[in-house]
Amino acid sequence: MTTLPHVYNGQALPLAKVPELTMSEFRTVVLERIADGRRISSFFGMPHGDGIALLAVLANDRQGVLELCRTQVRDAYPALTPEAPQAHWFEREIAEQWGIVPEGHPWLKPIRFHPCYRKGSDAWGRDKARAIEPCVTDYFRVDGEEIHEVAVGPVHAGIIEPGHFRFQCHGENVLHLEIELGYQHRGIERAIIAGPGQRTAHYVETLAGDTTIGHATAFALAIEALGGTTAPPRAQALRAVALEIERLANHTGDLGALANDVGFLPTASFCGRLRGDFLNATALLCGNRFGRHLVRPGGVRFDLTTRIADELLKRIETTFADTENAVNLLWQTPSVMARFEGTGTVSCHDAAAMGLVGPAARASGVSLDVRNDLPWGAYRAHHVPTVSLPAGDVCARAYVRWFEVRNSVRFIAEEIAALPAGAIQQEPARPAPDHLAVALVEGWRGEICHVAITDDRGRLRHYKVTDPSFHNWFGLAMALRGQQISDFPLCNKSFNLSYCGHDL
């Protein structure tokens, strides 16, 4: 196999070191690697020369490195998707952002519904004078006398972000679900260009507000890598503690929401409260329940005093004990298990082929966890076991979360007990010019990938964010195949993906 330059998670290299391959070399190199078990962590276009550079970041989980390569295109190239299904959403994004057509893509549609970033280009040749209407596009249709279509959203029943779902049904049975997003598109990636400036860290924290710590950590790692700065050990430990509390809050909330969707109100009600208690634990660190303004390039902004550390440990311990009590009710209640088991199954093969990440992948037997496979910061020395279950159903996705809650609680206690002394901040050096850095963080939904590329003056010329939801939305669509439409809320909650994290 051709060798490619590789970096560790949170490492930078000169852009010139990323080999520029011909299109046919690029396809061969990427496809043979995917066939060999590497994954696409990121794949995107960036203006370069008189065309667009396509850059691939491939995760080699076995060896714990990221492999990089690029190629140059003008208007079109032969799509990777027919041979590597996990490329499909990335290629739709490339088409939408840069007007590059991945030829042979089986279902080339916009994903966010915004005008093309490259003047005068449009992958679909749309009329420039007409506004682009969100989610107004072709949908996959099943025909037949007894087939009906159900359309839901953008405004849904609950307090939830907007998206559009189209079901092709035969009676109660879902033959196909198609998910279209884009309603939450705020243009954050583009706004970050020419930074980092005083807004950048704030933008990053709002990419997906429920993953503030995850995204802020990825951003901090990328900027630190570009400048060759390392955050002090104490800051790294505090970031990891905050990230695990974020996981606790969201996993606990999800377990409650799953209970709610099968009408099991005790656990739903208890977990609703407990999730808030975990959010309050984050607020204990920094005053904000979502961890806003805590993580910054160079370190963290708030220290943990001994008194606050003791209080934090005490709270995590009591909240965990109540969570255990609330969640165990799920496994003890046959009517709950009957609804969880065998619902929304995604096979290991499909999960790997689609490139799923996070708990959704692990619940289908795909044993991936950035904390172990490509560790950064505190996780380099302190491991959290990867939880993986083979069943691939709602039950497995619930169970994985529960096991992860237990592991996070243990991790937090151990980190705080062994908290390194010293500073919590180190002034980050200016980003080096013409460099590229990749940062991966295992957020509660899975792999968060930030790629930062600087121009000749060290400013960000490109910033690419891949939220775990970007990989996983299609997994939800697949999970619905052959299910009852009434199981949609349950399946949806078992993935609980981010709309704004996808729409950016």
By CB under 6 A, name the binding residues for ligand SF4.
Answer: 206, 209
Q: Give me the least distance between CB of 126 and other proteins, in Å please.
A: 15
In the complex with other proteins, the residue whose CB is nearer, 155 or 417, is 155
Pick from 236, 213, 223: nearest CA to 283:
213
Q: Which does 286 bind (CB under 5 to 8 A by kind): ligand SF4, other proteins, none?
A: other proteins
Which 206-235 positions form the footprint of other proteins (CB under 8 A)? 206-210, 212
Pick from 2, 57, 49, 48: nearest CA to 24:
2
Q: Give me the least distance between CB of 290 and ligand SF4, in Å please.
A: 7
Is 118 a binder of other proteins (CB under 8 A)? no
Q: Which does 104 bind (CB under 5 to 8 A by kind): ligand SF4, other proteins, none?
A: none
Residues 212, 246 contacting (CB under 8 angstroms): yes
Tell which one of 161, 369, 442, 487 touches other proteins (CB under 8 A).
161
Looking up tokens 């391959």 gives 21
Q: Give me the least distance between CB of 206 and ligand SF4, in Å please.
A: 4
Is 165 a binder of other proteins (CB under 8 A)? no
Is 286 a binder of other proteins (CB under 8 A)? yes
Pick from 472, 464, 415: nearest CA to 447:
472
In the complex with ligand SF4, the residue whose CB is nearer, 192 or 370, is 192
In the complex with other proteins, the residue whose CB is nearer, 75 or 303, is 303
Q: Give me the least distance between CB of 466 and other proteins, in Å please.
A: 17
What's the Rg (C-alpha) of the chain? 22
Site string for other proteins, 411-440 (x = CB under 8 A): ------------------------------
In the complex with ligand SF4, the residue whose CB is nearer, 96 or 161, is 161
Is 283 a binder of other proteins (CB under 8 A)? yes
For ligand SF4, the nearest residue by Cβ is 206
For residue 298, is it left (φ>0), alpha (ψ between -120 and 50) or beta? Answer: left
Tell the burial category of 427 from Cβ atoms under 10 Å away from its Cβ (0-12, 13-18, 19+). exposed
Query: What proportions of the chain, in percent to the nearest 5, are helix, strand and coil?
Result: 45, 20, 40
* Spatial distance between the Cα atoms of 183 and 483, rounded to a whole number of angstroms: 26
Residues 397, 340 contacting (CB under 8 angstroms): no
Partnered with residue 465 across adjacent β-strands are: 450
* Spatial distance between the Cα atoms of 115 and 52, rounded to a whole number of angstroms: 17
Q: Give me the least distance between CB of 131 and other proteins, in Å please.
A: 8
Residues 435, 67 contacting (CB under 8 angstroms): no
Q: Give me the least distance between CB of 269 and other proteins, in Å please.
A: 6
Residues 501, 468 contacting (CB under 8 angstroms): yes
Tell the burial category of 460 from Cβ atoms under 10 Å away from its Cβ (0-12, 13-18, 19+). buried
Is 380 a binder of other proteins (CB under 8 A)? no
In the complex with other proteins, the residue whose CB is nearer, 6 or 273, is 273
Residues 426, 298 contacting (CB under 8 angstroms): yes
Residues 378, 370 contacting (CB under 8 angstroms): no
In the complex with other proteins, the residue whose CB is nearer, 388 or 469, is 469
Q: Which stretch binds other proteins (CB under 8 A): 55-63, 101-109, 282-290, 482-490?
A: 282-290
Residues 47, 118 contacting (CB under 8 angstroms): yes
Contact positions toward other proteins, by CB under 8 A? 112-114, 133-134, 154-155, 157-162, 182-187, 191, 198-199, 202-203, 206-210, 212, 266, 269-270, 272-273, 275-276, 279-280, 283-290, 292-293, 302, 308, 322, 325-326, 328-329, 332-333, 498-500
